[in-house]
Amino acid sequence: MATDYDAPRRDEVDLGEDSLEELKARRVDSQSGAVDVDEAEVAESFELPGADLADEELTVKVLPMQQDEFRCARCFLVHHRSQLAFERNGELICRECA
């Protein structure tokens, strides 16, 4: 059960005064199962696999590899020089692949 730490705290005397019916009513109110969601609106935001994306255009700016970067010979990702684990036969290996 979630706890609201910002809510004012009650003394033990106040907690003992709650009746069983009052506690049950509070529990039912806080656990309402009704959710206001428009299913059609949610379905529109999902992209189906194999959907036709021919009219979509991607614009990504590709930067060349910088002087302080290297390409790992195993995972082929570009990493900063600080991620270099070792070099073997001219192949640079990152820490993740080492």
Per DSSP (E only), the strands in the chain are 69-71, 78-80, 84-88, 91-94
What pLDDT sits at residue 21?
76
Total tally of structural domains belonging to the chain: 1
Residue 12 predicted with pLDDT over 70: no
Domain annotation covers residue 8: no
Residue range(s) defining the domain that contains residue 85: 65-98
Q: What is the pLDDT of residues 19-66, one digit of tens each?
A: 777 777 777 665 555 566 677 777 777 777 777 777 878 888 988 999
Domain annotation covers residue 79: yes
Domain annotation covers residue 2: no
What pLDDT sits at residue 35?
61
Domain annotation covers residue 39: no
Domain annotation covers residue 93: yes
Residue 97 predicted with pLDDT over 90: yes
Domain annotation covers residue 78: yes
Dist CA 71 CA 80 (whole Å): 9
